A and B are shown apart, each in its own frame.
Chain A
């Protein structure tokens, strides 16, 4: 049986990659949650190091064209009063869509955590929505839209411990976002976040 040269090359490359990855992995870790003091409002913001990623294929634009949503937890500490938010970074690999088009349907969203619906209402598009003066998470691209949704710590826990997350926007043309394949680091990061902020 003969194997196509392309497949042979590919297999060698994969084996090499696997080997390299395992070497690199020996030094791998997950960063602890970040914490910052907002310079203007004085609130203490705690956030995870690695957001989760949800995606939606957009084959009508191009192969591998995707709409993406980064999802990260936030704790806002106002002098001992704790509030929790989810940050969504809404962006596209193909950036031709206008901002208004991209944010359409994100006013109200539904997260499906292991199938269980979790309806969330937008709190705002700017840091003011969480009482901060500047963004906490860095945007994947600057054209990304920040969106903040109020949640409870237990809802964050549900997300952290889930196997499967989906997001559905609302409106007449709702969009479904699926969980990116491997969210190990993000989940670990969520749990680190929880273990440091939730009681």
Chain B
């Protein structure tokens, strides 16, 4: 029976694992081609294919004619409603009414390593145009079904068929269709430099499928060869241009019955660019801007190029910058880099030099631009793509602050409580290799205490981070070793050890960790405690929910310190958010920590939130039994007590604390924001045990209101006033704080503030008043250096039954931050 149960259990587990593995492909097996249709009007049919993901159009072959049309795409991972991996599939599709376009089928192949291909297979040779919107999830193919320029003259003899070129028809002329648009073309579009004289650029209108199209054309050519020659020359600037025939009766297109109208423009001679006036330049720049906003980035590139080629105006620098931007938006990363570099070489001190430098740095740093497929950026989603390897990059941050604190009681001598120099440094080194990404970080500080040993805290070295990190995007593995910090997986913050991540899918991250906890950055290795654990995080689920599960075990001196399972969840919706954590100790059978916090925005101005927090404080662990015991190490405690006694002691020393908070915030106006918070916290009593006296139940509550204001006195200033009432078993404190920050020019910030506290001390029913004015001044020398000065003084007056107790103290700090 037991064997059968075990068999069933294994079967379920196997089924589950199989389901788990196939889930992304089975349940997420939505098709890449989500739909499509064919419409036809007279001799033109339009095929529209809709995709599950956004795509970038790369090119197509043949250019405008054939029985097969192969469109190269670059699919992104922006796939609303579908898993991004759907782009890595194959799909065969036949739209409804395919016969209208002589379309047999559409074949999508996303399994290629480099790009994806969409192949249109026609039943006959057709002439076509491909159109697309940058970054959209559809592509259109216009099929011209009138008659092909080259026809197959098939002889029905056994010798087989031969292809013959159609001779130009007498009386017919040809035109080049430069572009088609739903809106009339602008002046910028009409500027061309045709090689042959006698040509003109004109616009026609045609109604297709009920929609008016504006066609910008160049003509007329006496033969198709002449048109082809010109088309080849225009290919770089008009990649989608195609050749059309004029009607048989050789009348102008204006009189053609199939057209609704035509407009002819004066032909711009080769010197046209030189004759462009300043007003026209402004118009071109405005047109280009509109083109970018409308998503017609290719057109914007053309316009900016024309502006750059036109002499005698002062907007070259601007056009050069925007040309780089437009090319970047158009997916032409290499061109964009070249344009930015050209800008910097031509206008090193130009107004936009800083911006351009930053954009260029962004392109170089990321290896590619943001509009390119996300798969490349994700790494895990498409591991065959890799950004370019980079050289070593080392960034250093350093700061030094001198701090001096002094106190004076009544008329006694001043006592210097602190006089120290705090030096901190953070060195970050990283390199992207052809396969592995390496990074490392050393972050630490040194406190130089100028006081003598009896008065000061002494010198101190702190190491916050010291780790090396190696990632392999190809496999999704990442390892980090050294002093580091983790926020999930049940790890309680900083530790020394090894952390391994494996990105199983784009949404599943599996982790394993082993190490020794670090309770203070001034500590060395904790040789007594060791932990290991594993976790999985998943998200987003249901749009904005991320969840994690963990198992962790920690030992202290060979004894189980804590063993926990738990979950974490995070939800951030447009109007609601939720944050939660549960840590359950399976060794003690108790909830170590549970926390849930949510907010809800009712309208754009009013938000309410609430939180519940129940935890053992200090944290429930066997090592907590050391609290109050006359031992330095856990091993010493093991000598004095049995393990069971120690475990009971740890429960006694870690009472349960419960905290409830509710708050409301309201935006009074753009300049004023108001919030109210209320909190109640209780800590359970602890028993008398292990030589430690019992403690009664205690409680603490507060109520606070805050009003924040912006730009009251001058643009960019901020002010804050807050009132807070807190009540505990020992004291009741009422605090009023005023805080302001005023910018002076671009480099200076002054931050005056004052805080007034009234403290009622219940033990002797005395009142203490504290006044704390302070000022902070910041000076930003340049992007790499900031200097700060802060000084404040506190006056404390406490009225007692005997002589009053007055105290004065001040603090000064002066320091800088620098980046290298």
Contacts of A135 in B (CB 8 A): 604-605, 607, 667, 673
Bound Cα distance from A96 to B27, whole angstroms: 46
Instruction: Identify which of residues 546-567 in chain B touch chain A, using a CB-to-CB cut-off of 8 Å.
Output: 546-551, 553, 563, 565, 567
Bound Cα distance from A9 to B565, whole angstroms: 9
Mask for B12-36, Cβ within 8 A of A = 1, else 0?
0100100110011001100000000
Contact indicator B377/A9 (Cβ below 8 Å): no
Q: Given the interface contacts A21-B508, A50-B540, does A95 sit within 8 Å of B292 by beta carbon?
A: no
**Neighbour of B583 across the interface among A17, A64, A195, CB < 8 A:** A64
Q: Given the interface contacts A10-B565, A112-B395, A141-B609, does A50 sit within 8 Å of B358 by beta carbon?
A: no
Contact indicator B544/A133 (Cβ below 8 Å): no
Mask for A43-70, Cβ within 8 A of B = 1, else 0?
0000001110101010100111010001
Contacts of B505 in A (CB 8 A): 25
Consensus secondary structure, chain B interface: strand
Contacts of B615 in A (CB 8 A): 62-64
Contacts of B426 in A (CB 8 A): 112
Contact indicator B536/A141 (Cβ below 8 Å): no
Contact indicator B574/A152 (Cβ below 8 Å): no
Determine the residue in chain B with the shortest Cβ distance to A146.
B673
Contact indicator B543/A128 (Cβ below 8 Å): no
Mask for B531-548, Cβ within 8 A of A = 1, else 0?
000101111111110111
B227: interface (CB < 8 Å): no
Contacts of A10 in B (CB 8 A): 551, 563, 565, 586
Bound Cα distance from A116 to B393, whole angstroms: 9
Determine the residue in chain B with the shortest Cβ distance to A53.
B570
Mask for A66-78, Cβ within 8 A of B = 1, else 0?
1000100000000
Contact indicator A195/B737 (Cβ below 8 Å): no
Q: Given the interface contacts A22-B508, A80-B293, A126-B671, does A192 sit within 8 Å of B718 by beta carbon?
A: no
Stretch in B58-66, B255-263, B451-459, B481-489 touching the partner: B481-489
Q: Given the interface contacts A57-B493, A134-B604, A155-B358, does A64 sit within 8 Å of B540 by beta carbon?
A: no
Contact indicator A192/B78 (Cβ below 8 Å): yes
Contacts of B13 in A (CB 8 A): 15
Report A193 CB to chain B, min CB distance, Å.
Answer: 10
Contact indicator B577/A194 (Cβ below 8 Å): no
B416: interface (CB < 8 Å): no
Contact indicator B492/A64 (Cβ below 8 Å): yes
**Neighbour of A161 across the interface among B370, B403, B538, B753, CB < 8 A:** B370
Contact indicator B567/A98 (Cβ below 8 Å): no
Interface size of A by CB at 8 A reads 108
Contact indicator A195/B54 (Cβ below 8 Å): yes
A83: interface (CB < 8 Å): no
Contacts of B605 in A (CB 8 A): 134-135
Q: Given the interface contacts A124-B718, A125-B673, A164-B439, does A158 sit within 8 Å of B609 by beta carbon?
A: no
Mask for B374-401, Cβ within 8 A of A = 1, else 0?
1001100000000000000111010101
Determine the residue in chain B with the shortest Cβ distance to A72.
B572
Bound Cα distance from A114 to B618, whole angstroms: 35
A171: interface (CB < 8 Å): yes
Determine the residue in chain A with the shortest Cβ distance to B677.
A143
Bound Cα distance from A121 to B100, whole angstroms: 60
Contact indicator A116/B395 (Cβ below 8 Å): yes
Contacts of B471 in A (CB 8 A): 163
Contact indicator A127/B593 (Cβ below 8 Å): no
Mask for B420-442, Cβ within 8 A of A = 1, else 0?
00101010111000000101010
Contact indicator B679/A19 (Cβ below 8 Å): no
Mask for A123-144, Cβ within 8 A of B = 1, else 0?
1111111001111001111110
Bound Cα distance from A158 to B19, whole angstroms: 38
Q: Given the interface contacts A25-B24, A98-B735, does A138 sit within 8 Å of B755 by beta carbon?
A: no
Q: Given the interface contacts A125-B673, A142-B608, A192-B78, does A100 sit within 8 Å of B667 by beta carbon?
A: no
Of the A-B pairs whose beta carbons lie under 8 Å apart in the complex, a sample of 6, sorted by A's number, is A53-B570, A62-B657, A64-B492, A110-B397, A138-B573, A199-B329
The 10 closest A-B pairs by CB, nearest first: A115-B428, A6-B586, A26-B27, A57-B493, A63-B619, A142-B665, A21-B538, A128-B670, A185-B540, A142-B663
